[in-house]
């Protein structure tokens, strides 16, 4: 019996219920007194607006108090239900619930320890990775700078590349028109500039440079001597004329004509454009 008395006194909340009930009664009494004071007091006409505003404020305050009372009553009902449930439990059931709660707490503590250990391990790994990350960032920045410099260099040489590609395309077109594929004879291109003639053997892919700086006449003499070693039934010539070689065009064509070599004529766009080492189209 003494054990049962001790259990009842441990979970008794009658004092809390008395406090709630007393507060509720006091609030109702205050509200009633305020209402009586409002009804019995004589308000002058010139203060009617102030009284109306005060009345609205009191009504709002009364509504808030009612909401608080309602919330407190709900809390009281919930607490009463919990108390009744606990009162119905036997000591064995209470001990079992306590054991379950302790197990749950222990499991949660173990999980918390695991999480903390994982956090510590991650922090250690992060500290190890920080130098590597800094190194990678530095390397990435250096690579980006290198890429930037390469892009700048490409931007600088891109016009030159386009110019070279255009020049190559033009040379290829000239080669296409300069070579007569309808004859079995081998094509030789005679490139004429201001310093004389350079022969380009398309079939053998070699160049015979007969030019003499500032002395084109000597170059033409060399050409005549070289043509003596070639058979006009085996080779034909196509003259590629640079702007600097315009004054010598007639002379070169006459040399080939005198030696009975078939010849064609193509005009190069400038003195820097050359057909040397071009691949046969």
Q: Is residue 91 part of a domain?
A: no
Q: Is residue 180 part of a domain?
A: yes
CA distances from 79 to 72, 74, 92 (A): 10, 9, 22
Transcribe 210-272 into DSSP letters. ---TT-HHHHHHHHHHHHTTS-TTTEEEEEEE-GGGGGGHHHHHHHHHHTT--EEEEE-SSTT
Q: 210 and 152, same structural domain?
A: yes
Q: Is residue 108 part of a domain?
A: no
Please say which residue of 85, 120, 152 terminates a domain: 85
**Do the beta carbons of residue 203 and residue 187 sit within 8 Å?**
yes
Q: 273 and 187, same structural domain?
A: yes
Spatial distance between the Cα atoms of 238 and 191, rounded to a whole number of angstroms: 8
Q: 152 and 79, same structural domain?
A: no
Q: Is residue 106 part of a domain?
A: no
Report pLDDT for 280.
Answer: 41
**Do the beta carbons of residue 241 and residue 269 sit within 8 Å?**
no
Q: 166 and 76, same structural domain?
A: no
Q: 255 and 138, same structural domain?
A: yes
Q: 80 and 211, same structural domain?
A: no
Q: Is residue 270 part of a domain?
A: yes
Q: 203 and 68, same structural domain?
A: no
Q: 165 and 79, same structural domain?
A: no
**Model-level pTM?**
0.39
Spatial distance between the Cα atoms of 255 and 259, rounded to a whole number of angstroms: 6
Q: 178 and 75, same structural domain?
A: no
Residues belonging to the chain: 281
Kindly state the tokens that stand for 213. 């700086």
Q: Is residue 76 part of a domain?
A: yes
- The one-digit pLDDT tens for each residue of the chain (281 residues) are 444 455 555 566 667 777 888 888 888 888 888 888 887 765 555 555 666 677 788 888 888 898 888 888 888 888 888 778 777 777 787 788 788 888 889 898 988 888 988 888 888 888 888 888 888 888 899 999 999 888 888 888 888 777 777 666 666 666 665 666 677 888 888 889 898 898 888 777 788 888 999 888 998 898 888 888 888 888 888 888 889 888 888 888 888 888 888 777 777 777 777 776 554 44
Transcribe 79-146 into DSSP letters. HHHHHHHHHHS-HHHHHHHHHHHHHHHHHHHHHHHHHHHHHHHHHHHHHHHHHHHHHHHHHHHHHHHH
Report pLDDT for 49.
Answer: 61
Report pLDDT for 2.
Answer: 46
Q: Is residue 119 part of a domain?
A: no
Q: 205's torsion region: left (phi>0), alpha (psi -120 to 50) or beta?
A: left
Spatial distance between the Cα atoms of 158 and 102, rounded to a whole number of angstroms: 77
Q: How far is CA 257 from the centre of its chain?
A: 68
Q: 193 and 74, same structural domain?
A: no
Q: 147 and 267, same structural domain?
A: yes
Q: Is residue 110 part of a domain?
A: no
Which helix H or strand E contains 24, and what residues bound it?
A: helix 14-40
Q: 159 and 22, same structural domain?
A: no
Range of the domain at 259: 134-281
How many structural domains are present in the chain?
A: 2
CA distances from 193 to 35, 209, 229, 246 (A): 122, 12, 23, 8
Please say which residue of 85, 101, 119 terminates a domain: 85
Which helix H or strand E contains 78, and what residues bound it?
A: helix 48-88
């Amino acid at each position: 019996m003494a054990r049962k008395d001790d259990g009842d006194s441990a979970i008794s909340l009658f004092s809390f219920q008395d406090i709630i009930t007393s507060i509720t009664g006091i609030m109702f009494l205050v509200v009633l007194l305020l209402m009586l004071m409002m009804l019995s007091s004589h308000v002058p006409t010139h203060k009617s607006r102030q009284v109306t505003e005060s009345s609205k404020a009191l009504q709002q305050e009364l509504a808030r108090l009612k909401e608080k009372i309602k919330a407190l009553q709900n809390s009281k009902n919930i607490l009463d239900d919990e108390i009744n449930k606990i009162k119905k439990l036997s000591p064995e059931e209470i001990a079992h619930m306590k054991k379950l709660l302790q197990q749950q707490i222990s499991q949660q503590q173990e999980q918390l320890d695991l999480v903390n250990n994982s956090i510590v391990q991650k922090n250690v790994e992060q500290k190890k990775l920080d130098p590597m990350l800094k190194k990678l960032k530095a390397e990435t920045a250096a690579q980006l700078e290198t890429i930037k410099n390469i892009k700048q260099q490409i931007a600088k040489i891109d016009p030159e590349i386009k110019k070279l590609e255009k020049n190559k395309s033009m040379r290829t077109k000239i080669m296409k028109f300069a070579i007569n594929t309808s004859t079995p004879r081998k094509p030789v291109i005679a490139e004429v500039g201001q310093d004389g003639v350079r022969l380009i053997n398309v079939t053998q892919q070699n160049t015979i440079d007969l030019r003499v700086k500032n002395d084109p006449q000597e170059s033409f003499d060399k050409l005549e001597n070289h043509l003596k070693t070639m058979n006009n039934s085996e080779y034909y010539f196509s003259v590629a004329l640079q702007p600097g070689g315009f004054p010598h065009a007639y002379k070169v064509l006459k040399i080939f004509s005198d030696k009975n070599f078939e010849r064609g004529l193509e005009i190069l766009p400038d003195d820097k454009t050359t057909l040397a080492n071009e691949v046969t189209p």
